[in-house]
C-alpha cells in the first residue's frame, strides 16, 4: 500500500522567516485571514497537518514570497 505524499510547513524555516521579518504566527494568520490555530496545527511537531493548495498560495502571498520560493517554507513528506 503506497502512502500519499503531503506538503508540510517547514516549521524551523517558517519561524526563522517570521522572526527575520518581525512577524508572529498571529500576524501571519491575520494576514492570511485564518485562525492562528490553523498555523499552529500545520507546524505541530507531534502531528503536523498537511496543507492544501489554497493555504500554500495564501501563506506565500502573506509572506511576500513567490511560487519559486515554495521550498523555502514547505517540504514534501
CA distances from 62 to 5, 25, 66 (A): 25, 11, 10
pLDDT for 3:
66
Which pLDDT value is given to residue 4? 77
The pLDDT score that the predictor gives to residue 58 is: 95
The confidence score (pLDDT) of residue 25 equals: 97
Question: How much is the pTM?
Answer: 0.86
Per-residue cell: 59 = 501563506
Burial label, 43 (beta-carbon count in 10 A; 0-12, 13-18, 19+): middle
- State the pLDDT confidence band at 77, using cuts at 50, 70 and 90: confident
- In this predicted model, what pLDDT tens digit does every residue of 25-63 receive, in sequence order? 999 999 999 999 999 999 998 988 899 999 999 999 999
Extents of the domains making up the chain: 7-64
State which H helix or E strand residue 32 sits in.
Answer: helix 25-32
If you classify domain 7-64 with CATH, what class do you get? mainly alpha
Amino acid at each position: 500500500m503506497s502512502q500519499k505524499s503531503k506538503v508540510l510547513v517547514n516549521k524551523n524555516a517558517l519561524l526563522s522567516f517570521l522572526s527575520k521579518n518581525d512577524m508572529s504566527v498571529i500576524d501571519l494568520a491575520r494576514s492570511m485571514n485564518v485562525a492562528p490555530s490553523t498555523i499552529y496545527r500545520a507546524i505541530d511537531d507531534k502531528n503536523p497537518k498537511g496543507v492544501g493548495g489554497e493555504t500554500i498560495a495564501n501563506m506565500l502571498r502573506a509572506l511576500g514570497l513567490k511560487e519559486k520560493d515554495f521550498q523555502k517554507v514547505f517540504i514534501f513528506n
